[in-house]
Amino acid sequence: MTDYFKITLPEDDINAISNLGLAHLGDAVFEIMVRTWMCEHGYAKSSNLHKMTVQRVSAPAQAKAVEAILPHLTDREAAVYKRGRNTRVNSVPNRATIGEYHAATGLETLFGWLYLHGETVRLNELFALIMKEDV
């Protein structure tokens, strides 16, 4: 049975996943980290919990998050981020610029890629840099 909380795929399998596939997964990884952080920091009792979560996982917020982690990425991580950022997208949410959306897609691609590599420690390091302002 596959343990989807501790998954590590072979490099060839990860490389076969499209950038948008990695971003799709990374979006969920990022959101579960945000939701967990919010519960840990006492926001779970708030009636605005969903709204507060959406604010942190929106494309503009993720684009801002990229600014916090970009200087800390390894060359390999930066390459994955850029690969995701440069992916052609068919639509952009109304509340985001094309630049924000591309940056957010890059962040999500990186988080999906790290997750599939089983790099949970690195995910936590990067996430801590992102949430630093909110602590």
Q: Is 13 a catalytic residue?
A: no
Residue among 12, 27, 75, 134 flagged as catalytic: 27
Neighbouring CB atoms inside 10 A of 7's CB total 11
Identify the sign of the CA torsion 72, 73, 75, 79: negative
Active site residues: 27
